[in-house]
C-alpha cells in the first residue's frame, strides 16, 4: 500500500479523456507520479493530439487553422483552435478523410469545428449534422443511422 501511495505501481489511471462517442488511443498512467507528470505535459500543451475523421464533403480550403469561440462547460465562452488537413477525398461517396490537431481541448471542439466552421460534418454525427441529405454509414447488421461516430484519436 505504501508503494502505491508513494508513486509505485497501482491500477492504470486515465490521463485524459475522450468524448464518449470518440474511438481510438487513450493514454493511461501506471503510477500517480507518472500520471501527474503526463497530465502536466498535456496542460502545458507540450503533447499534441492527432485525430482522424471521415466527413461529408470537402473543406474549402483543404487545410488550415480554425479559431472560433466555443461555449465551455461552465457556460463561459473560450477560444478553440484546431489545425486540419485533408488527407484524401472519395468523389463517389462525397466524403473526405481529415487529420485534425486540436490546440485547445474544448468539449466537442472537433465536431463543432468540422460541422459549423468547415461545413463538413463528421459522418454519423447526429448532434452536429443538421443536414438530412448527409448519408450515414452503418456496419453490417446495424439499422441505417445507428453507426458510430467516424472520429478517432490517432496519436
Please state, in angstroms and rounded to a whole number, the distance separating the CA atoms of residues 84 and 25.
Answer: 19
**Separation between Cα atoms, residue 103 and residue 1, nearest integer Å:** 38
Give the distance from CA 143 to its chain's centroid: 25
Note if 74 is an active site residue. Answer: no
* Spacing of C-alpha 40 from chain mean position: 20
Pick the catalytic residue from 19, 60, 67, 131. 19
DSSP 3-state of 132: coil
User: Which residues are catalytically annotated?
Assistant: 19
Amino acid at each position: 500500500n505504501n508503494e502505491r501511495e508513494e508513486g509505485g505501481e497501482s491500477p492504470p489511471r486515465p490521463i485524459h479523456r475522450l468524448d464518449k462517442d470518440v474511438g481510438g488511443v487513450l493514454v493511461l498512467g501506471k503510477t500517480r507520479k507518472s500520471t501527474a507528470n503526463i497530465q502536466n505535459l498535456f496542460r502545458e500543451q507540450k503533447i499534441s493530439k492527432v485525430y482522424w475523421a471521415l466527413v461529408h464533403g470537402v473543406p474549402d480550403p483543404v487545410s488550415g487553422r480554425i479559431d472560433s469561440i466555443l461555449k465551455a462547460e461552465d457556460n463561459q465562452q473560450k477560444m478553440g483552435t484546431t489545425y486540419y488537413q485533408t488527407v484524401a477525398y472519395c468523389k463517389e461517396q462525397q466524403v473526405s478523410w481529415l487529420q485534425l490537431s486540436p490546440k485547445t481541448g474544448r468539449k466537442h471542439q472537433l465536431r463543432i469545428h468540422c460541422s459549423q466552421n468547415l461545413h463538413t460534418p463528421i459522418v454519423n454525427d447526429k448532434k452536429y449534422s443538421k443536414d438530412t441529405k448527409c448519408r450515414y454509414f452503418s456496419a453490417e447488421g446495424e439499422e441505417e443511422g445507428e453507426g458510430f461516430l467516424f472520429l478517432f484519436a490517432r496519436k
